[in-house]
C-alpha cells in the first residue's frame, strides 16, 4: 500500500469516527426537531473524536508495521532534549499572539474583548493535545510528506484537522452556540488551526519531536479555553477568531514559510518517521 492510500484510509477512518459519532448521538434528536447540546459535544462527542484519532493511528501503525512500528510511533514523544528556544516557541506563540490581539481589541474596540482568566482551562487541552498528535504528526504527516512539499502537507493537514472538528465546533468558544455566525466562526477556526499546523510542522522539521507538537497543540487549545473573552457575542467571537487566524497566517507567510520551504531535515525526518524500516 502506498503512502497516499495509507493517508486516504487514515482520514476516512478518523472522519468516519467523527461524523459517525455525531449521527449516532445527535442524529435521532435532529430527526425529531431537536438540536445538538453542549453536553453532547463536550461530554460525549469530543472525547470520542480525540480517542478515535489516537486509536486509529495506533491500529493502522500496528497493521502496517507491527509492534516495532508502534514502538517507533511512541518514541517520538520521548525526544525532549532539544534547544529550549523550541519549547518557548511551542508554549508561548499561540497564547502570546492571542492575548496581544484581544487586549488590543479591548482597548481599541470594546471592553467585552478583555480576556478571561480561567486558569484551569489548560486541563481541558491536555488530552486532545497529547492524544491527537499521535495521529496528525505521528502517522498522517510523515506519510503525506512522501508525496507533498512540507508546506502543502502542513496546510492540507491543518484544513482536514479543522474540518474534523465540525461535529463539535459550534460548542467551541465562550459564545457557543454561534447560531447564524456558525459558518464565519468555523471558517475562522479552520484558519487558526491550519496556521498552527504549519507552526507544528516547522517545529517537527527541526526537532523530530512529537512532544513539541503535543505541547504546541496544548498551548493553542489551552489558551483558547483560558482566555476567550466570555462577554463577547457570537458575532464578536467570530470576529476575533478571524483576526487571530489572519494574524497567525501573517506570521506563517512572512516568517515560517520561507524557512519551511526546502528544509532538507523535513524530508529526512519524514522518511525516518514513515516506519518503512520497522517492518
Taking the C-alpha atoms of residue 1 and residue 226, their distance in angstroms, rounded to an integer, is 43
3-state secondary structure (DSSP) of residue 149: coil
pLDDT of residue 262: 56
Q: Which of 56, 238, 22, 23 is nearest to 131 (CA)?
A: 56
pLDDT of residue 263: 54
Taking the C-alpha atoms of residue 94 and residue 220, their distance in angstroms, rounded to an integer, is 5
Taking the C-alpha atoms of residue 54 and residue 58, their distance in angstroms, rounded to an integer, is 6
Residues of the chain with pLDDT under 70: 1, 262-279
pLDDT of residue 190: 98
Taking the C-alpha atoms of residue 249 and residue 270, their distance in angstroms, rounded to an integer, is 24
pLDDT of residue 276: 46
pLDDT of residue 155: 97
Q: For 104-160, how does the pLDDT look when each residue is reduced to its tens digit (9 = 90+)?
A: 999 999 999 999 999 999 999 999 999 999 999 999 999 999 999 999 999 999 999
User: Can you read off the three cell numbers belonging to residue 56?
Assistant: 486509529
pLDDT of residue 274: 46
Q: Which residues contact 191 (CB under 8 A, 6 or more apart)?
A: 241, 242, 245, 246, 248, 249
Q: Do residues 265 and 206 make contact, with C-beta atoms less than 8 angstroms apart?
A: yes
C-alpha of 248 from chain center: 14
User: Can you read off the three cell numbers belonging to residue 137?
Assistant: 504528526
Q: For 203-213, how does the pLDDT look when each residue is reduced to its tens digit (9 = 90+)?
A: 999 999 999 99
3-state secondary structure (DSSP) of residue 24: helix
Amino acid at each position: 500500500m502506498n503512502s497516499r492510500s495509507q493517508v486516504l484510509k487514515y482520514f476516512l477512518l478518523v472522519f468516519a469516527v467523527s461524523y459517525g459519532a455525531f449521527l449516532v448521538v445527535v442524529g435521532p434528536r435532529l430527526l425529531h426537531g431537536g438540536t445538538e447540546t453542549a453536553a453532547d459535544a463536550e461530554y460525549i462527542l469530543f472525547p470520542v473524536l480525540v480517542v478515535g484519532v489516537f486509536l486509529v493511528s495506533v491500529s493502522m501503525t500496528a497493521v502496517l508495521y507491527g509492534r516495532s512500528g508502534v514502538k517507533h510511533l511512541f518514541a517520538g514523544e520521548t525526544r525532549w532534549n532539544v534547544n529550549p528556544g523550541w519549547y518557548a516557541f511551542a508554549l508561548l506563540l499561540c497564547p502570546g499572539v492571542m492575548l496581544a490581539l484581544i487586549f488590543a481589541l479591548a482597548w481599541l474596540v470594546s471592553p467585552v474583548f478583555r480576556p478571561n482568566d480561567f486558569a484551569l482551562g489548560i486541563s481541558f487541552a491536555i488530552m486532545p493535545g497529547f492524544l491527537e498528535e499521535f495521529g496528525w504528526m505521528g502517522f498522517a504527516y510523515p506519510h503525506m510528506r512522501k508525496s507533498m512539499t512540507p508546506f502543502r502537507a502542513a496546510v492540507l493537514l491543518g484544513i482536514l484537522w479543522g474540518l474534523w472538528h465540525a461535529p463539535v465546533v459550534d460548542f467551541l468558544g465562550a459564545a457557543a452556540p454561534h447560531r447564524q455566525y456558525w459558518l464565519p466562526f468555523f471558517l475562522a477556526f479552520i484558519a487558526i488551526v491550519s496556521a498552527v499546523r504549519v507552526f507544528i510542522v516547522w517545529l517537527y522539521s527541526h526537532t523530530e519531536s512529537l512532544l513539541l507538537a503535543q505541547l504546541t497543540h496544548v498551548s493553542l487549545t489551552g489558551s483558547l479555553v483560558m482566555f476567550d473573552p466570555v462577554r463577547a457575542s457570537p458575532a464578536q467571537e467570530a470576529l476575533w477568531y478571524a483576526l487571530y487566524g489572519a494574524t497567525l497566517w501573517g506570521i506563517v507567510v512572512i516568517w515560517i514559510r520561507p524557512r519551511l520551504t526546502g528544509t532538507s531535515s523535513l524530508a529526512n525526518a519524514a522518511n525516518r518517521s514513515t516506519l518503512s524500516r520497522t517492518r
